[in-house]
Amino acid sequence: MFNGLIAYLDSIKARDPAPRSRWEILLYPGLVAVGMHRIAHWLFEARLFFLARFVNHLSRWMTAIDIHPGAKIGRHLFLEHGFAVIGETAEIGDNVTIYQCVTLGGTDPTNGIAGKRHPTLGDDVIVGSGAQILGPITVHARARIGANAVVTKDVPEGAVMVGIPARSTLVDASEYAREFVPYGTCNETFDPATQKVELLQCQLEQMQKQLAALIAERDANAEDEAPRRKGSRKSA
């Protein structure tokens, strides 16, 4: 158990340059939240739902992180800062990193769909701050969710998702050689601020296609009118 805790602390230190020692990490709200969730989940599995909820609410009050007791969490989850929400049927793999203000949310319970309502995150997934991952979808291993992205569909392995709604972005293969890329980003190419430029480029392409179609239509009309003009001149 002690060796497991040391390995957990070291995994966090490898992903966060701020702490000077393992002792600092013991005070991290994310570490406290995950530790208390282990207790709440054990009570939940034992069908001691009231006690599980009590531990859950105590943890939320202490850390500003809300993890439903029913959520399944793997090894070495790193919750950077607070204000994360993880739903009841969410499943999280090993070595996942989740930054602040992230929601692993569920589908509307009034739609008649029972069972799994929340996302599944594979191993080594990184979720940037403010991202919303909604519904019973799967974010496969090594995927990265950019800051403030809204994900409502399955994410392929190793993909980088940005935007609202989130879409996949190409990644240079050299990025995968890095052990950890912080904050759910790869490089400046994936800064959400560049999305405006991408939207303008898309609009420009659409306008160019429309202009080309108008020019083609004009040329076709001109070719049709040419024989008529010749015929009218001969009759004159």
For position 86, what pLDDT does the model report? Answer: 94
Q: Are 127 and 99 in contact (CB under 8 A)?
A: yes
Instruction: Give the C-alpha separation, 13 to 135, whole Å.
Output: 31
Top-confidence residue, 79 or 191: 79
pLDDT digits (tens, 9 = 90+) for 83-92: 999 999 999 9
Q: Evaluate if residue 4 carries a pLDDT over 90.
A: no
Closest CA to 85 of 118, 50, 58: 118
Using only C-alpha atoms, the chain has a radius of gyration, in whole angstroms, of: 26
Calculate helix-pair angle for 2-15, 29-45, nearest 10 degrees. Answer: 130
Q: Are 122 and 143 in contact (CB under 8 A)?
A: yes
For position 92, what pLDDT does the model report? Answer: 96
Give the Å distances, CA to CA, from 177 to 30, 98, 104, 173, 236: 27, 21, 28, 8, 79
> Is 0.95 topped by the overall pTM?
no
Domain boundaries, the chain: 2-190, 191-236
Instruction: Give the C-alpha separation, 109 to 92, whole Å.
Output: 21
Express as a percent the part of the chain with pLDDT over 90. 43
For position 202, what pLDDT does the model report? Answer: 65
Q: Which residues lie below 8 Å from residue 224, measured CB to CB, with a gap of 6+?
A: none
pLDDT digits (tens, 9 = 90+) for 169-213: 755 444 544 556 565 554 444 444 555 565 566 667 778 888 888
Q: Evaluate if residue 114 carries a pLDDT over 50.
A: yes
pLDDT digits (tens, 9 = 90+) for 133-171: 999 999 999 999 988 899 999 999 888 888 888 787 755
For position 200, what pLDDT does the model report? Answer: 67
For position 111, what pLDDT does the model report? Answer: 56
| Position 42 confidence tier, pLDDT thresholds 50, 70, 90 | very high
Top-confidence residue, 183 or 18: 18
- Sheet strand arrangement including 132-134: 66-67, 85-86, 103-105, 132-134, 150-151
For position 194, what pLDDT does the model report? Answer: 52
Mean of all residue pLDDT scores within the chain: 82
Quick one: fold of 2-190?
Answer: UDP N-Acetylglucosamine Acyltransferase; domain 1 (2.160.10)
